[in-house]
Amino acid sequence: MILAIIKIIIAYVLFPASSYLLGSLSFGLIVGRLKGVDIRKEGSGNIGATNVWRVLGKGPGALVFALDVLKGTVPALVFALIARAIADVPSWKMLGIVYGAFAIFGHVYPVFFDFRGGKAVATSCGVFMVLAPLQTFTALMIWLTVLLFTKYVSAASMAGAASFLLMVLVLYPASPIEVGGPLSRIQASLYPTPVVAQAQGVPRDKIEHRLMRREKLLMILLSLMAAGVVFHRHRANIKRLREGTEPKIMTSKADVKAAEAQKKYGKDRLAKAGKGTVNREALRAMSKPRKDGEPAGEQPSDEKPPTPDAAADADKPAAGEADAAKKADGTDTDQVETAAPLEELEEIPTEDLEEGGQDKKDTDTTKLPE
């Protein structure tokens, strides 16, 4: 009796908790700290392999991706097989589905890092490679195709998650597969029939059908949960895709250097203007191309207009002197000062920094480094 209770605790308490704790290991953050970088404060701020790839390079990015995949593979396969051997459960895949769900949840909400995790793409891939290899391979091909055509990792990840859910609904078996031709043999090897003991008065085939139907239902629920998590965690990416500001994956070192130079140029221009903060919406509005002859839009400012004061007006320098001062130090007193901190700025197009209504040749001698 005591031994049976211990087996139940191991299979249904210890292994789910271990799966969650393993999923909570944010390898992107760990690798970043080993490199002396807080990955949450660099790039997109995400701890996933894509941001690590952009910030630290291909080697650390590939390492983080492999470790995140293992976070899903180990619970769904190793923990499930051990639990089946201990607790004598008929279908190890049903346990793998449960443990995989805990691993994904741990990756998204890690207990070790203030519940601020990743987007669950790599960890979900590790789980589904074990539980549904055929559907996972199809989803990976779709992911790769979308990535090659669009250069957006976020769009490829969401397309892969949606396609995997569809493949599970269509291709995952709900009954034992009849072994006939080569294709059915391959499918039967990928989705083995659960080994069950015949219950008293119940035919073996009915038990197998019942288990496989439950297994498919759990797979549908898990894939639906994973797809929902992926889309939910990509909310900011969806917004940037709609606005056309989502960064594409860098294909060469020249792309990375150009992006860094552009970002540094924007920060230097704002710092040179003497303003530590800037309004993103104002910069986005200023970045829109204007037609020839169209007047520049007014730049919003948080400062209230001063009240007229005769004494203050008398102390103001002449207009010519003010223009000369502007040309001397390269600053513009019409810069925008708002509440968004400079460190949180994303890549700023150089056209965002052009002063509206001013002749560029007279007011800006700084050029974007090539």
Read off the pLDDT band of 68 (50, 70, 90): very high
pLDDT tens, 317-369?
A: 444 455 554 444 444 444 444 444 444 444 444 444 444 444 444 444 444 44
For 44: left if phi > 0, alpha if psi spans -120 to 50, otherwise beta; the answer is alpha
pLDDT digits (tens, 9 = 90+) for 76-128: 999 999 998 888 777 888 899 999 999 999 999 999 888 888 888 999 999 99
Instruction: Please report the pLDDT score of residue 182 as a whole number.
Output: 76
Confidence of residue 143 (pLDDT cuts 50, 70, 90): very high
- In this structure, the number of other CB atoms found within 10 A of the CB of residue 320 comes to 8
Rounded to whole angstroms, how far apart are CA atoms 241 and 246?
5
Average pLDDT over residues 175-190: 74
Region 227-250 average pLDDT = 86
What pLDDT is recorded for position 288? 46
What whole-number distance in Å separates Cα of residue 193 and Cα of residue 209? Answer: 9
- Alpha-carbon distance 92 to 76, whole Å? 9
pLDDT score recorded for residue 334: 43
- Please give the average per-residue pLDDT across 273-278, as a whole number: 53
- 277, β-bridge pairs: 341
pLDDT at 286: 47
| pLDDT band, very low/low/confident/very high, at 274 (cuts 50, 70, 90) | low
Q: What is the pLDDT of residue 55?
A: 86
102 CB contacts (<8 Å, ≥6 apart)?
A: 16, 17, 19, 20, 23, 75
Radius of gyration of the chain (CA): 29
The sign of the CA dihedral 52, 58, 64, 68 is positive
Per-residue confidence band for 262, with pLDDT thresholds at 50, 70 and 90 = low
Q: What mean pLDDT comes out for the span 31-52?
A: 85
Helices marked H in the chain — which ranges? 2-9, 15-23, 27-34, 49-56, 58-73, 80-87, 92-108, 121-131, 133-150, 153-171, 182-190, 204-233, 235-243, 253-272, 280-287, 310-315, 319-329, 360-363
Q: Please count the CA atoms within 13 angstroms of the CA of 39 that sit on its side-chain side.
A: 29
Query: Taking the mean position of all CA atoms in its chain, how far away is CA 114?
Result: 17
Q: Nearest 5 degrees, angle CA 172-CA 173-CA 175?
A: 160
Instruction: Give pLDDT, residue 256.
Output: 55
Mean pLDDT of the chain: 75
The mean per-residue pLDDT over the stretch 248-273 comes to 63
